[in-house]
């Protein structure tokens, strides 16, 4: 099938799939609609089965890593890593709101970088909320920090975000090389976000310090050691040709074995916490995106995207990626952009794409599934963030941090 009808069908199927993933009526998994939509793409000939199969095969190792790191994050939470972190935040800040914001930024940036943005949204946000309430401080600056840094602090490591994982294989970079190039943009982004938050929430941060005693939590030393070794393994693994997926899988196996032996989890949770339905959703989404890429956006993006890494070219690339992420969500945007860049993209251009799809989603609720998940997490704790406030904060932070991070990338390159 070709022509306008194929384009309309592709966009419609992608739109329905993303709407369902964002709303999740009755809590149904995203794959409930994504898998049939992928089937329709193939049945109607909207995408070549060969190309769709190739795209799925390319991201299968990435999906294995995602499953392992999600399980590691859950097992870390079971062992009390996040409760301990919340206690440390409360103790260090001594009831001072500005100090709590600074250390929340540090905690969120570290958790996002090492355990991925999902851990920040699902596991750290409730801890930060509870810490703020226990200290009788306004929670808004701190929970918004979790939402923003889940996106913008996910640029540091190849393992920090699914978008990074999808692009890493095509980058031609080593784990250490990727991290070295993204370190300065990452630091610049966090610094700008922190300054913007301090101004935007200045009224909340003028609140007098409280004297509520912090609850001391013992450090889960075994799990912290495993996480440290896992991070070192990511960096060193490529020197001995060991892929990150095997390092994460080994860490998950060690933590799961210990948790099962201590009866902290049940055997079936090892499977469910690896989120197989989420993996199935991403694979099906890749097939749906193939149709949109082939009939709608692919040709246009191949014309617009540059093939050199000058500063104007990098700024254009980051802007295009950010706009596309807020139109169709950052995950399908990454898949579309990777296809448009081809099999051997210029590494600098590819990294600018990642800045756009990771920092750009802070502009709107729709830019990232992580942001939508953050809203659900807060709703379960009787918190309703204001859409207007989120948009105003995004308008303040996103253009400035994206432009500055892109300039920093150009300097490093």
For 257-291, write each residue's pLDDT tens digit. Answer: 999 999 898 988 888 888 888 888 888 988 888 88
Give the pLDDT confidence score for residue 2 in this predicted structure: 65
pLDDT in tens, 75-91: 988 998 888 888 888 88
Please, which pLDDT band fits residue 93 given cuts at 50, 70 and 90? confident
Mean pLDDT lowest among 190-194, 342-346, 350-354: 342-346
24 exposure class (CB count in 10 Å sphere: 0-12, 13-18, 19+): middle
Q: Which of 369, 364, 370 is nearest to 398 (CA)?
A: 364
What length does the chain have?
413
CB atoms within 10 A of CB 218: 9
Half-sphere exposure of 255 (CA within 13 A, CB side): 34
Q: Phi and psi (nearest 5°) for 375?
A: -60, -40
- Rounded CA gap, 173 and 238, in Å? 10
Report the SS3 class of residue 3: coil
Query: Which residues lie below 8 Å from residue 348, measured CB to CB, with a gap of 6+?
Result: 309, 314, 409, 410, 413
Please, which pLDDT band fits residue 329 given cuts at 50, 70 and 90? confident
Q: Which of 187, 194, 193 is nearest to 155 (CA)?
A: 187
Give the CA distances from residue 144 to residues 40, 83, 239, in Å, rounded to whole numbers and listed in that order.
38, 19, 38
Q: What is the mean pLDDT of the chain?
A: 87
- Rounded CA gap, 168 and 205, in Å? 39
What pTM value is reported for the model?
Answer: 0.83
DSSP label at 266? -
In this structure, are residues 83 and 217 in contact, taking their beta carbons and an 8 Å threshold? yes
Selection from 64-68, 211-215, 262-266, 394-398 with the highest mean pLDDT? 394-398
- Rounded CA gap, 125 and 378, in Å? 8
- Rounded CA gap, 268 and 257, in Å? 13
Query: Per-residue pLDDT for 36 more than 80?
Result: yes
- Rounded CA gap, 98 and 124, in Å? 18
Which position has the higher pLDDT, 55 or 248?
Answer: 248
pLDDT in tens, 194-226: 999 999 999 999 888 776 655 667 889 999 999
Q: What value, to the nearest 5°, has the Cα angle with vertex 370 and ends 138 and 385?
A: 30
pLDDT in tens, 136-158: 888 899 999 999 999 999 999 98
Q: Region 27-51: what's the mean pLDDT?
A: 87
Give the pLDDT confidence score for residue 14 in this predicted structure: 86
CB atoms within 10 A of CB 284: 22
Q: Region 177-200: what's the mean pLDDT?
A: 96
Q: Region 324-335: what's the mean pLDDT?
A: 86
Give the CA distances from residue 24 to residues 30, 189, 362, in Å, rounded to whole numbers and listed in that order.
7, 31, 21
Helix axis angle, 97-115 to 221-237, nearest 10°: 50
CB atoms within 10 A of CB 98: 17
Query: Which residues lie below 8 Å from residue 46, measured CB to CB, with a gap of 6+?
Result: 1, 6, 9, 10, 13, 40, 291, 294, 295
- Please give the structure tokens belonging to residue 141: 């600056």
- Rounded CA gap, 175 and 165, in Å? 11
Give the CA distances from residue 23 to residues 20, 88, 281, 320, in Å, rounded to whole numbers and listed in that order.
5, 35, 14, 26
Query: Per-residue pLDDT for 44 more than 60?
Result: yes
Mean pLDDT lowest among 6-20, 198-212, 294-308, 320-334: 294-308
Q: Return the CA Rg of the chain.
A: 21
Please, which pLDDT band fits residue 381 given cuts at 50, 70 and 90? confident
- Rounded CA gap, 188 and 406, in Å? 10
Give the pLDDT confidence score for residue 123 in this predicted structure: 83
pLDDT in tens, 311-324: 999 999 999 999 99
Give the pLDDT confidence score for residue 183 in this predicted structure: 97
* SS3 of 24-93: CHHHCCCHHHHHHHHHHHHHCCCCCHHHHHHHHHHHHHHHHHHHHHHHHHHHHHHCCHHHHHHHHHHHHH
Give the pLDDT confidence score for residue 215 in this predicted structure: 65
- Rounded CA gap, 132 and 111, in Å? 18
Q: Region 335-347: what's the mean pLDDT?
A: 85
């Amino acid at each position: 099938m070709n022509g306008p009808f194929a384009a309309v069908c592709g966009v419609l199927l992608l739109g329905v799939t993303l709407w369902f993933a964002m709303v999740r009526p009755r809590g149904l998994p995203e794959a409930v609609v994504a898998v049939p939509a992928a089937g329709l793409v193939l049945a109607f000939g909207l995408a070549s089965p060969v190309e769709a199969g190739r795209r799925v095969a390319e991201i299968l190792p990435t999906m294995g890593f995602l499953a392992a790191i999600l399980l590691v994050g859950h097992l870390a939470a079971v062992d009390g890593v996040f409760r301990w972190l919340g206690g440390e935040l409360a103790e260090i800040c001594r009831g001072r709101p500005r100090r709590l914001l600074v250390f929340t930024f540090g905690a969120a940036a570290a958790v996002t970088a090492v355990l991925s943005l999902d851990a920040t949204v699902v596991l750290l946000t409730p801890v930060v909320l509870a810490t703020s309430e226990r200290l009788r401080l306004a929670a808004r600056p701190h929970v918004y920090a979790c939402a923003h840094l889940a996106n913008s602090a996910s640029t540091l490591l190849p393992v920090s975000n699914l978008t990074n994982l999808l692009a890493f294989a095509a980058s031609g970079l080593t784990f250490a090389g990727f991290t070295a190039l993204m370190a300065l943009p990452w630091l610049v982004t966090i610094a700008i976000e922190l300054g913007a938050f301090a101004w935007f929430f200045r009224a909340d941060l003028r609140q007098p310090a409280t004297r509520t005693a912090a609850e001391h939590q013992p450090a889960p030393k075994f799990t912290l050691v495993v996480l440290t070794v896992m991070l070192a393994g990511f960096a060193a693994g490529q020197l001995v040709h060991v892929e990150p997926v095997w390092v994460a899988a080994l860490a998950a196996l060690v933590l799961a074995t210990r948790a099962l032996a201590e009866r902290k989890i049940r055997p079936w949770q090892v499977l469910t916490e690896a989120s197989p339905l989420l993996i199935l959703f991403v694979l099906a989404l890749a097939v749906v995106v193939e149709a949109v890429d082939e009939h709608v956006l692919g040709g246009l993006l191949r014309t617009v995207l540059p093939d050199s890494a000058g500063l104007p070219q990098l700024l254009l690339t980051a802007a295009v990626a950010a706009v596309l992420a807020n139109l169709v969500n950052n995950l399908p945007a990454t898949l579309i952009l990777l296809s448009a860049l081809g099999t051997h993209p210029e590494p600098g251009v590819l990294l600018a794409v990642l800045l756009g799809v990771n920092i750009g989603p802070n502009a709107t609720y729709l830019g990232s599934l992580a942001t939508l998940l953050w809203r659900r997490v807060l709703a379960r704790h009787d918190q309703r963030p204001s859409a207007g406030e989120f948009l105003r904060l995004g308008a303040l932070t996103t253009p400035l941090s994206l432009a500055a991070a892109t300039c920093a990338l150009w300097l490093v390159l």
